[in-house]
Structure 1
Amino acid sequence: MNHESLSKNPKRVMIGLSGGVDSAVAAHLLLEQGHEVEALFMKNWEEDDEAGYCAAAEDLADAEAVAERLGIRLHRVNFATEYWDHVFDSFLREYQALRTPNPDVLCNKEIKFAAFLDHALGLGAEAIATGHYARILRDDSGSRLLRCADEDKDQTYFLHLLDQAQLSRALFPLHGLTKTEVRALARRLGFANAAKKDSTGICFIGERRFRDFLARYLPREPGPIETPEGKQIGEHQGLAYYTLGQRQGLGVGGIAEGREAPWYVVAKDVAGNRLVVAQDTHHPLLMSNGLQGLRPHWIRGAPPPSLPFRCRCRLRHRQPLQVCDLVATTEDSCEVRFAEPQRAVTPGQSIVFYQEEECLGGAVIERGRSD
């Protein structure tokens, strides 16, 4: 097997330079490996407020400073139309359906490893690189996506929709480094963004007052907040703005067993437009023994050869790996059983499967099952 074999043969590589410290250090490492490196800054969001424009301008300035320091050419491209059509429109449809989507997953598939890859190849690149924390192992059967050295930063969860064609052209130079090591290297290299905060929030849109942002595109439909027993204790602003397991931003308080205790979203009653909450972090309504998934994707092109298949999974980024059994899978759906009940199995999010270090693929969660 040949780990990151592309990195051992000098190539014309286009690095996605975001203005952050990860892609900056990744660009430096590519140069150290002898590649001919150019960079691309992607602008992917137009519908914005003044604060957002300032953030985008700051990111561009940081990317320009890194490119200048490394002596590499920086290209600029606007993928706002592609982002809206292939990521944000789906994001809104999912919220309208009262699901909780993960735009970072689709963003990687459609923008960073599709639009960016196509554009880079058109500019003469042979491969693309990003600052993702993940590894690629290549052998005669294809490319495998593996977890990285920094388990806390591992981003394979967000990359599970990539396919063989995309991985065959990809490089992840940070695969062997921890975030602490990346920042230390950035300081030694004199990068001005060495201490820059990691980007958070919606992919390419950034941090927002989420409810206010979503209300620009989806109408508010207030309704009652109730306990599982049917007692109304408040009013919600619209079921689309809440997710299973949520604790913050509910606007209710109360006493449980003679003491103050937080409330958690345990269910959404779509027919009655009710948000159901309880003062129990592991309320039975929050727990699932398994789930039904939609549109399973297998990175190596095919599901496991025999079922049931024992593996591990994640239901959210940074969750410790959980033991599960893939009981059934078709082109359109899959069924999973957990070895231990799981909390807040959220429709619209992703379940991602692992065997040892390898990320096998994943599926969109349709619903949790407690039977």
Structure 2
Amino acid sequence: MSGGVDSSVTAYLLKEQGYQIVGVFMKNWSFPVKRITECPLYQDYLDMVSVCKFLKVPYLVFSFEKEYRKRVIDDFFKEYRAGRTPNPDVLCNREIKFDLFLKEALKRGADLMATGHHIRSRKTPKGYQLLRGKDPIKDQTYFVYPITQAQLGRCLFPIGEYTKAQIREIAKQVGLPTAAKRDSQGICFIGRIDAKDFLKTKLLQRKGDIVDLSGRKRGEHEGAWFYTLGQRRIVGLSGTAKPLYVIKTDVRKNLVIVGSDSDTYTKVARIGPLHLINPKEYTSRTLVGKQFLAKSRYTPELSRGVLKKDSKGFYFQFSQPERAVTSGQSLVLYQGQVCIGGGVIKDNIK
């Protein structure tokens, strides 16, 4: 339980269904961080406690600070230092919540783990499927695609059957203390922290040039690794008649290259190892050459395309040019409501 309305309603629904539940707060961060003025973890903990007391259920705290720093935060900085834009929520779910947290819960005698994700699961003769949440705006399968069959078999996702508005209404009607609490924004299980401010705690500011495709200098920046593909608000960019966007960064040369919005579009996303949620239902061999829906970033929108493979590995060819296909993010595949799996984007090709 994170102290938010989604996990609060999850606890309420399960108790109403007759489950014996224990609320668990996951403590992954408490180290002081320079430049960071707002880290609401303690308030989130207090909100979790108030909900558990309201529901009359016991609560615990699991601490994974050391593991979280090593397996999520260190990788986060490593990727940005290399000029990629990782998704910490994908990392957190893969490395901590559905791995260490689940193992600890089972070790302590739990039969199942329930989360407040807007996702669903379904058991079929061939195994478990991961399904998109009923609310297309809030669907979080993008963050959970690395999940395995063994993990799905031990998990419940009660709120995936509801829209966010319905969740809010349930919380309000029941009188849950978190009914009016705003959704969290920021880095997974750290809180409402601006990613750029967080990066500056480890990555040095390095003055460099902002150039256009012709090589003409258009301004100066404070470090190429602070910028990501498709970004429009570019600190240090001189006034321009038309909007300019980041279309590429070169951390080795410390350059930020800008262009028009049309320059951010590509047709192909090349990905790393392909993770399949249910290998008995879908195999990489049978998927190649077929058309799927896909997300190249966390968004409600789905794009069509074909999964292909060559000597360099898997790649996804979009039916229409896709904006800001960014290395470090994930390319997640869907067939209807079913999330098939995905892989980390290595590169994009025009």
Q: Identify the TM-score tier after normalising by the shorter chain.
A: over 0.9
Indicate which of 16, 19, 24 corresponds to 1:40.
Answer: 24
1:209: how far off?
3.7
Structure 1 runs (4+) greater than 6 angstroms displaced:
50-53
Offset, 1:129: 0.3
Alpha-carbon distance in structure 2 between the residues aligned to 1:158 and 1:35:
26
Q: Which residue of 1 aligns with 2:167?
A: 182
Q: Within the alignment, does 1:344 sit opposite 2:350 as a pair? A: no
Residues 19 and 348 of structure 1: is their aligned pair in 2 closer, same or farther, counting only changes over 3 Å?
same
8 Å Cα contact 1:294/1:364 also seen in 2: yes
- Three-state SS of the structure 1 residue aligned to 2:215 is coil
After TM superposition, give the deviation of residue 46 of structure 1 in Å: 2.6
User: How do residues 160-171 of structure 1 correspond to structure 2 at under 5 angstroms?
Assistant: 160-171=145-156
Letter in 2 for 1:33: Q
Moved more, 305-314 or 37-46: 305-314
Which one of 276, 280, 295 corresponds to residue 314 of structure 1?
A: 295
Question: Aligned match of 2:273 in 295, 313, 330?
Answer: 295
Query: 1:229: how far off?
Result: 1.5
The answer to whether the 8 A contact 1:325-1:338 is kept is: yes
* Among candidates 170, 186, 201, match of residue 201 of structure 1: 186
- What corresponds to 1:90 in structure 2? 75
Q: Which residue matches 1:358?
A: 338
Percent of residue pairs bearing the same amino acid type: 41
Shift of 1:22: 0.2
1:262 paired with 2:243, answer: yes
1:368 is aligned to: 348
Per-residue deviation, 1:74: 0.3
In structure 2, the residue corresponding to 1:342 is in which secondary structure?
A: strand
Secondary structure, aligned partner of 1:255: coil
Q: Distance in 2 between matches of 1:156 and 1:185?
A: 23
Using the TM superposition, name which of 302-311 and 335-344 deviates more. 302-311
CA distance in 2, matches of 1:29, 1:304: 40
Q: How large is the RMSD of aligned CA atoms in angstroms?
A: 1.8
Distance 1:329 1:44 in 2: 40
CA distance in 1, matches of 2:228, 2:345: 13
Instruction: Tell me: CA distance 1:54–1:155, structure 2 relative to 1, closer, same or farther (3 Å).
Output: closer
Per-residue deviation, residues 234-280 of structure 1 (Å, max 9, x unmatched): 11111110000001243324333xxxx322101113443211112x2
Pick one of 52, 66, 69 that aligns with 1:67: 52
For residues 271 and 116 of structure 1, what CA distance do their matches in structure 2 show?
37
- SS of equivalent residue, structure 1 residue 200: coil
> 1:4 maps to what in 2?
none
Q: TM-score, normalised by structure 2?
A: 0.94
State the shift of 1:48 in Å.
2.8
2:39–2:193 contact (8 Å) kept in structure 1: no
Aligned position for 2:139: 154
Which stretches in structure 2 are left out of the alignment for 5+ residues?
none
| Cα distance in 1 for residues equivalent to 2:57 and 2:270 | 47
Per the alignment, in what secondary structure is the counterpart of residue 261 of structure 2?
coil
**What is the aligned residue count?**
346
